[in-house]
Amino acid sequence: MKTSRFLLLAAPLLAALPALAQQTSPVQAAPAQALPSVDPHANETKAQRDARMKWFREARFGMFIHWGLYAVPAGEWKGKPVGSIGEWIMNTAKIPVADYAMLAPQFNPTKFDAEAWAQLAQDAGMKYMVITAKHHDGFAMFPSKVGGFNIGASTPFKRDPLAELSAACRKRGIKFGVYYSQAQDWHQPGGAAYGGHWDKAQDGDLHHYVKNVAAPQLSELLTKYKPAVLWWDTPVDMSREDIQALTEAFAQNPQLIANNRLGNGVKGDTETPEQFIPAQGFPSRDWETCMTINDTWGFKKNDLNFKSAESLTRNLIDIASKGGNYLLNVGPDATGTIPLPEVQRLREVGAWLKRNRETIYATTSSPYKRLPFDGRATVKGNTLYLNVFAWPEAGLTLSGLQTPVRRARTVASGETLQVLKGADGTLHISKPSKLDPVSTAIALELSGPPVVMEPEILLAPQADGSFKLGATDATLEGGLKTEGNPSNIGFWTSASDSVSWKVSAPHAGKYQVQLDYSCEPDSGGSTFTLEVDGQDSGLKGTVAPTASWNDYKSFTLDGALALSEGKHTLRLKPVAKPNLAVMNLRGITLTQVKADK
């Protein structure tokens, strides 16, 4: 069965790993029988949960580290570049287990300096760290007593990076966490492998593997390093017994925060969008977007496609404005060095953050659905923060804020700014003497917590008379969500969910209606209607499949939509959904076919 994360496939990584993407979906099929939940935190009270999640909610920024044997081949095998992300080299190149294991004696990262890594995280403004204790290749980055495939038993490097890092983090007040691939293990017999095993040595029973390798290693990790975060990844066929075995050790660490990738319907503590920022965050869940700085998690020497410090900083601001955390990855090389371009960028993000820290840490999400300028908002107590990416030529305005402004200042320099209130209540904020090219942060100190009444989104026609009804302008009902860039409306797995837009037609007219949509082959065939102000417009359609959830096509409905002059609500409403989902929808274009004079 396909799941909703699979429907969206916004991230190239997920596109490359469809079967895993299904497994990591936050909307997994509920277990058929009503058995008690296997989620170890299922019975805690809201107050207990709030206390446990407090530091995470305030942190906003963490360092992800993908480091393991794959740093040795660094994206090349037998002199040839291997496509896909660095840490997947064993699977992509179908490297036999014994050959891959020969990397271990070559792994001697003598330049590894836990203090320097933790210091870099601190300089970048990161409040927590999550490192791969064991990735899918099955190699443990700690001296485990379970099996011999680990840094202690099979490399010349006799140190314990996890012990060193956890100590270095603790010294700096940085929370330490571990990533653990609980099902995929391409080394041990029985471990799962996306795409299937390619070496007889991998064959065996997954549940035996979980019980005898993964669960005892988990217990070692939780006992020895006392992590604050446990980052599961890529669940495959996790039975209730597997979940129980894997979480047994949670009792040793009741404050542990674990993500939503354990499997078997366990919701976990955090949603984990990967390589994209969900357009509206997850309003009722804690969440964390993980992203790479270039295009790989594990080190690949030829991947030089580094994002700019500006875009990384703006990602952080964007994520904070949606109430989430940014878990930004570094991929150290086989000597134990974090690549210089990554270090430089993290330092630049940190420099901005140092000047503007109050706009990010311990803030809550924006009270605005959309702002009239290129930027983002966050809130802390009685202060509304505006991060302005590009100062508008016509001046900075803000409408809808009901709470009086006591003072406006720039965050970095404390310069007082003038705020003038227009007759319609719109605020005009004076331009600071110095703008920050990445983002100029402004604090509006209010007389109370910000109350915002946003003007409704009423779409007017474009210059050519057409209407563009985009994903981010829509009102979504039910479980629908917008995600991705460009944004699309997805998670459309219920036929009772609908999507609507408000438009203002300057005169009566008829319009051709064109959908920009995708729908993977197995999911085609849904039917829908278009309503105007609650009445059937007579326009309807059947969703034809496209090549994949990433393959967007245009689809023009038969007939024309008649709109009278004035305001209207247009609603796209499914009639039948024979398969998993209706479609992913980027938007609708209404093109005028005849203007009634």
Q: Is 290 in the site for ligand FHN (CB under 6 A)?
A: yes
DSSP state of 142: S
Count of chain residues binding ligand FHN (CB under 6 A): 11
Q: Is 234 in the site for ligand FHN (CB under 6 A)?
A: yes
Is the bond leading into 486 cis (omega within 30 degrees of zero)? yes
Q: Is 297 in the site for ligand FHN (CB under 6 A)?
A: yes
DSSP string, 2-53: --HHHHH--SHHHHH-HHHHHHT-SSPPPPSS-PPP--TTTT--HHHHHHHH
Q: How far is CA 352 from CA 81, 169, 180, 314, 343, in A?
A: 36, 22, 32, 10, 15
- Cα torsion 251, 252, 253, 257: sign: negative
Q: How far is the CB of 15 from ligand FHN (least distance, A)?
A: 11
Closest to ligand FHN by CB, 188 or 272: 272
Closest to ligand FHN by CB, 155 or 234: 234
Closest to ligand FHN by CB, 91 or 440: 91
Please identify, among the stretches 16-24, 138-146, 345-353, 399-407, the one whose residues bind ligand FHN according to the rule CB under 6 A.
16-24
Closest to ligand FHN by CB, 263 or 470: 263
Among 9, 20, 319, 346, binds ligand FHN (CB under 6 A): 20
Q: Is 166 in the site for ligand FHN (CB under 6 A)?
A: no
Q: Which residues of 527-547 are buried (b: 16+ CB within 10 A; e: fewer)?
A: ebbbbbeeeebebebebebbe
Q: Is 291 in the site for ligand FHN (CB under 6 A)?
A: no
Please identify, among the stretches 17-25, 448-456, 535-543, 587-595, the one whose residues bind ligand FHN according to the rule CB under 6 A.
17-25
Reduced to 3 states (helix: H, G, I; strand: E, B; else coil), residue 223 is: helix
Q: Is 87 in the site for ligand FHN (CB under 6 A)?
A: yes
Reduced to 3 states (helix: H, G, I; strand: E, B; else coil), residue 468 is: strand
Q: How far is the CB of 89 from ligand FHN (least distance, A)?
A: 11
Q: Is 287 in the site for ligand FHN (CB under 6 A)?
A: no
Q: Is 24 in the site for ligand FHN (CB under 6 A)?
A: yes
* Backbone phi and psi for residue 251, each to the nearest 5 degrees, phi listed first: -60, -25
Give the β-pairing of 509-518 and 553-556. Answer: antiparallel
Q: Which residues contact 393 (CB under 8 A, 6 or more apart)?
A: none
267-286 residues in contact with ligand FHN (CB under 6 A) are: 274
Q: Which residues contact 173 (CB under 8 A, 6 or more apart)?
A: none
Please identify, among the stretches 84-92, 353-361, 440-448, 510-518, the one whose residues bind ligand FHN according to the rule CB under 6 A.
84-92
Among 160, 185, 233, 242, binds ligand FHN (CB under 6 A): 233
Distance CA(189)–CA(128), nearest Å, equals 33
Q: Is 185 in the site for ligand FHN (CB under 6 A)?
A: no
Q: Which residues bind ligand FHN (CB under 6 A)?
A: 17, 20, 24, 85, 87-88, 233-234, 274, 290, 297
